[in-house]
Structure 1
Amino acid sequence: MAEERLTREAKRLQTREKLLTAATAEFGRVGMADADIATIVSEAGVAHSTFFFHFPTKEHVLLELEAREERLMADRMDEFLATSPGLGAALHKAVDLLAELESTLGRPLFRDFLASHFSTTRPIAEEGLDHPLVLSLVALFDDAIAGGGVDPDLDSMNSAIFFLLGLYALLVTIGEGPGRGAMLDDYVARTLRSLRPAS
């Protein structure tokens, strides 16, 4: 009996993974709003109703994808922070990680990924789901405060959120133009200046 339950659970997870993979491809092609559930289930090789068994809405697919990608980015950020980089290098790493994600997901899905943070229809996350990249940046700012390199009155959580929200807005609006790199560098430079202790 226990073995049957394990087999059923393994099949359920395998089906969910197929749906997530197919949905990610479809979202990357046309964006979440225009994604066709019939195309997703056909690609995953499952019945139409199976999609809704696993994901009540397309937004729930995006929420799960977001959680996975944020965890991966946070893991990579934490590995980088373990090398004890300077604050500027660490903020540039965060920029690079999000730029890589844009390249991996494709622009339509990346826009949906970032826009989901501001959506009024965003599904409520499961209990305990957090934003690992935010927490990695909070640890970075906490270390910078302890080291005396930034304003001691800095609120690490607010600083992490403000930095990422500004970065999200820039990445969504500036596109791939020739001035993109300079603008992102300027954003990091301005952030660093804003963190300095008041004279």
Structure 2
Amino acid sequence: MALPAEEKRTRRDVQRLETRRQVFEAAIAEFRRSGMADADIGAIVKAAGVARGTFYFHFPTKEHVLAELTQQEEERTAKELEGFLGAPHDLRSALAEVVRLIVAVEQRVGRVVFREMLGLHFSPTRPAIRPDAHAWADFPLLALMVREIERARDQGEVQPESAPVLATQFFILGLYAVLITSHECDASAQFVATTLYGLEPR
């Protein structure tokens, strides 16, 4: 008996999503081995068990794979930070938690992929996974940090003239630079302390 058209579409959608997941996971595994620039599309599609054209159907470029991974990790990190911020805390512990969460991203994806994710942030050709995202408010992690610095300012933890959006941008960009250039145990803690020194009332 023939399947109703709606059920056929549902099955096709499920299969399409499953194929996309397989291609995505095979690509990330290849990125871990070779880095994104040297990743072999042939090796990716072989591991995923699909035709070469299937990769490009789901991901126009290798950068689109990396951008999607970056978005997933940003959303996961924001969700975990939101849970932390729901309990009593101060700005120092909040910034330290951001550091811990971003270091955890590196541990999950591996150092090679993590460095490429950071590089993608500064790439002029970064794919627009979220074409409508133009401001800090469109990125959940940044939005949470801005609100946290606003809270700290309102409670007198930081200077009243502090600019939460700029402070968030400086913190994130600075943290990325620290993680790329140094893996000393206390570098991140020193970075948090230095950031707070610039924000705290004199």
TM-score by length of 2: 0.92
Describe the superposition over 1:68-95 as per-residue Cα deviations: whole angstroms up to 9, x where unpaired.
0000000001101111211111111111
Alignment-mate amino acid for residue 146 of structure 2: V
Alignment-mate amino acid for residue 18 of structure 2: Q
Root-mean-square deviation (CA), in Å?
A: 1.2
2:139 to 128, 131, 134: 131
Contact 1:67/1:131, CA 8 A, preserved across alignment: no
Q: In structure 1, how many angstroms separate the alpha carbons of the residues matched to 2:87 and 2:20?
A: 36
- Structure ranking higher on relative contact order (CA contacts 8 Å, 6+ apart): 1
Q: In structure 2, how many angstroms separate the alpha carbons of the residues matched to 1:75 and 1:126?
A: 18
SS of the equivalent of 1:35 reads: coil
Q: Which position in structure 1 is the counterpart of 2:31? A: 27
In the alignment, is residue 169 of structure 1 matched against residue 177 of structure 2? yes
Alignment-mate amino acid for residue 74 of structure 1: A
2:161 to 131, 135, 153: 153
Q: In structure 1, how many angstroms separate the alpha carbons of the residues matched to 2:126 and 2:196?
A: 32
SS of the equivalent of 1:125 reads: coil
In the alignment, is residue 195 of structure 1 matched against residue 202 of structure 2? no
Alignment-mate amino acid for residue 70 of structure 1: E
1:128 CA displacement = 3.4
- Runs of 4+ off more than 6 Å: none
Counterparts of 1:92-107 in structure 2, within 5 Å, are: 92-107=96-111
Q: Which position in structure 2 is the counterpart of 1:41? A: 45
- Percent identity between the two aligned chains: 44
SS of the equivalent of 2:159 reads: coil
Q: Which position in structure 2 is the counterpart of 1:73? A: 77
Which structure is larger by alpha-carbon Rg, 1 or 2?
2
**Structure 2 gaps, min length 5:** none
Q: In structure 1, how many angstroms separate the alpha carbons of the residues matched to 2:143 and 2:153?
A: 15
Higher deviation after alignment, 14-23 or 151-160: 151-160
1:124 CA displacement = 2.5
Alignment-mate amino acid for residue 174 of structure 1: S
SS of the equivalent of 2:162 reads: coil
Count of aligned residue pairs for this structure pair: 194
Q: Which position in structure 2 is the counterpart of 1:52? A: 56
